[in-house]
Amino acid sequence: MTYAARDASTEVSPNMSSVFPSNSSTPLSTFSAGSEIYAPRQKASCLYRIEFGAVRLHRMLSDGRRQVVDFYLAGETFGFEVSRTHSFFAEAMVATSTRTHCLADNTGTQPELLGLALHGMLRAQEHILVIGRQTAMERVAGFLLDMSDRQGGLKHFDLPMSRLDIADYLGLTIETVSRVFAKLRASGLIKLRSIRCVEIIEKTALRGLCA
């Protein structure tokens, strides 16, 4: 973690009346690639809205196995918790800037927060279906379509995460992810413009691969 980045994350004003004022002057924090935003057991009191960059939320088992619970991209918000402390690691995957909104105890932010929580629950529950019942090919195909959609549905887009992040998100290994990418490329459904830039050639066919 970068010390400068950590310091920046703590410069937050205590009282926000609204969660996301559009012309916000809330503090802007920046994190370098790979730096930690928060860790389990740390006090949870802020929401983070990503201005640019991308974040992974993950947890580890004692023997090093890791599960990425979710990715957050530009425009998305993370950081809300049931309890007073965090349950996961949040780390910037690339250079990332966030607007930090601290929650007062008793404000009008709850309607927005409720929406975020319900949306987060649905996303997590749908991810359970993916990881519990889909094949490696189905998982990767669905992942690419999700990434495409969340970046405006463009034909080509950059993956802000490494193969290891993708593997840990989909409950696979890097090798399996790499092999599925290779198979999709060989069958002409996608192109890899560079190692992190994906172009979707046959969106319909790709969609057909998802169960």
Partner DNA sequence: CGGTCATTTGAGCGGAGTCAAATTGAGTGG
Partner DNA sequence: CCACTCAATTTGACTCCGCTCAAATGACCG
Residues that bind a second copy (CB under 8 A): 2, 5, 8-9, 11-12, 57, 59, 61-63, 65-67, 69-70, 80-85, 87-88, 110-111, 113-115, 117-122, 124-129, 131-134, 168, 170-171, 211
Can you tell me which residue has the tokens 């413009």? 193
* 16-24, 38-46, 109-117, 164-172 -> range binding DNA (CB under 7 A): 164-172
Distance of alpha carbon 207 from alpha carbon 41, whole angstroms: 39
25/132 with CB nearer a second copy? 132
Q: Does 42 bind DNA (CB under 7 A)?
A: no
Paired with 97 in beta bridges are 30, 52
Distance of alpha carbon 148 from alpha carbon 156, whole angstroms: 7
* 45-53, 73-81, 104-112, 188-196 -> range binding DNA (CB under 7 A): 188-196
Which tokens is 83 given? 């309890």
* CA atoms lying within 13 Å on the CB side of residue 185: 14
Interacting residue with DNA among 85, 173, 191, 203 (CB under 7 A): 173
Q: Quickly count: other Cβ atoms within 10 Å of residue 121's Cβ.
A: 10
Task: Using CB under 7 A, list all residues that contact DNA.
Answer: 135-137, 162-164, 171-179, 181-182, 192, 194-196
